[in-house]
Amino acid sequence: MQNMVILGATGSIGRSTLSVIAQNPDAYRAWALVAHASVDKMLELCLQFRPRFAHMVDSVAAMELQQKLSPELGVEVTTGEQALCELVSASEVDTVMAAIVGAAGLVPTLAAVKAGKRVLLANKEALVMSGELFINEMQRSGATLLPVDSEHNAIFQCLPLSVQQSIGRCDLDAAGISHILLTGSGGPFLTSPLESLQHMTPAQACKHPNWSMGPKISVDSATMMNKGLEFIEARWLFNTGLDELKVVIHPQSVIHSMVQYRDGSVLAQMGNPDMRTPIAHCMAYPERIAAGVEPLDFFKVGQLSFFEPDFRRFPCLALAMEACRLGQEATTVLNAANEIAVAAFLQGRIGFSRIAAINEACLGQLSLQRQDSLEAILALDASARRMAESEIDRQAQA
Ligand code: NAD
Ligand code: MG
């Protein structure tokens, strides 16, 4: 029996994880559930999964949950950053699903890494912000890192065992690998006229053709910043040089990414676009369990197509690749600016095309000095957020 902590339990990845646990109740237990502020969703999960702990990041939400939970259920409610870090590090815990959205996931995810847990990483922003620090801590503690993001999970599945066992420090060249091919659907605006992009609404941006996801990652898929963040994520997970990574647009989302070998072979991982597959893969690795996902029917799939990305359509992808080249400080700034810009777009404060403009302005403004402590990274994140907010105001007045 593996005891799991689920960071971001009420979100899209959190609920998919709980669905895989529900299908394999003899092997996994939801020992602790963590969410931000949605009391009713958390209450429902507590009734269904009866975790030992329910943690609400928002302290008022924690009080409300406490009042609504019957004591007979035996669920202890906690709040506060220290309590959260203690939860993920507790000796009872085997596995931590890191599925909080955005930079907010960094501190608890890093705490799980430092405690040497088996960490299933969905929260790509944590790795984008902390890169080298994250990999160093992993090395130091002996934590196991398994990639949940469907592309990185696909790549992981296509790698030889020796590389799988040295995530973060692997040598692709020695394993005969020439390229990693990161596939992406191109999102909902792949074929929309370029002039129409500036008028796209949050509802249109969140309507992904293949995947059902939380709002932030859905907007990131529409700008292809998501693929940019994944480019940076891949750089750290697979220790790649930037010219070893290629982005390939593949609108059907059947192939989830590929690995190209020196001898001309290309290995791909395929499946229906359902996050329960990579989640179940990470939970059971190196074994396999049922995920509740429909088997892929090739006769229904029909055609698979592939294109090169158009950077005029997707300037955020180009910005992320540039930030990756500049280094970890640039990726921290870009990630923070993007979170602020996406939130402003979702609130109707800025238009869709402004997201890239805000990101570009912030990336160009900050002086990037080497930051190698968690405190310095968090401070840089905070100043990039302030800069993005003032850039939003400045551009609104211009
Ligand atoms: P979501 O918006 O559906 O859920 C977010 C979860 O994080 C919720 O449980 C929420 O309570 C929690 N949360 C939000 N703010 C928080 C804060 N300040 N502190 C603590 N918890 C907070 O998001 P999602 O789509 O499930 O995505 C979660 C992560 O997984 C993201 O990093 C995303 O990039 C990544 N991811 C998601 C998918 C997908 O299919 N949804 C695929 C690959 C990777
Ligand atoms: Mg992905």
Secondary structure of residue 216 in the 3-state scheme: helix
* Residue 398 CA to ligand 1 centre (angstroms): 34
- Beta carbons of 319 and 363 less than 8 angstroms apart: yes
Closest among 264, 258, 191, 259 to 222, alpha carbons compared: 191
Sign (positive or negative) of CA dihedral 249, 252, 258, 264: negative
- Beta carbons of 110 and 123 less than 8 angstroms apart: no
pLDDT at 111: 98
Alpha carbons within 13 angstroms on the beta-carbon side of residue 45 total 31
From 5, 7, 13, give the residue whose CB has the most ligand 1 atoms within 8 Å, as the site to mutate. Answer: 13
Structure tokens at 272: 């229906």
pLDDT at 362: 96
From 40, 217, 231, 257, give the residue whose CB has the most ligand 1 atoms within 8 Å, as the site to mutate. Answer: 217
Q: Which residue has the tokens 């950077």?
A: 311
pLDDT at 251: 97
- What beta strand segments (E) does 117-163 contain? 118-121, 144-147
- Beta carbons of 171 and 165 less than 8 angstroms apart: no
**Does 329 carry a binding-site annotation?**
no
Strand arrangement of the beta sheet that strand 2-7 belongs to: 76-78, 53-56, 28-35, 2-7, 95-98, 118-121, 144-147
* Residue 109 CA to ligand 1 centre (angstroms): 13
CA distance 317 to 333: 15
* Residue 227 CA to ligand 2 centre (angstroms): 7
Task: Find residue 33's DSSP bridge partners.
Answer: 6, 54
Model pTM above 0.90: yes
Average confidence (pLDDT) per 10 residues, the chain, 398 residues: 98 98 98 98 98 98 97 97 98 98 96 98 96 95 98 98 96 97 97 96 93 93 98 98 96 97 98 97 98 96 96 98 95 97 97 97 83 90 96 88
pLDDT at 398: 78
**Does 125 carry a binding-site annotation?**
yes
* Residue 352 CA to ligand 1 centre (angstroms): 21
Structure tokens at 153: 């999970």
CA distance 344 to 373: 29
Residue type, position 56, single letter = M
CA distance 246 to 240: 11
Residue type, position 130, single letter = S
- Beta carbons of 7 and 100 less than 8 angstroms apart: yes
ipTM over 0.95: yes
> Beta-carbon neighbour count of residue 144 at 10 Å?
17
pLDDT at 365: 87
Question: Minimum-distance ligand to the CA of 224?
Answer: 2
CA distance 35 to 328: 28
**Does 13 carry a binding-site annotation?**
yes
Closest among 28, 2, 236, 274 to 125, alpha carbons compared: 236
The string of DSSP letters for 87-124 reads HHH-TT--EEEE---SGGGHHHHHHHHHTT-EEEE--H
Secondary structure of residue 31 in the 3-state scheme: strand
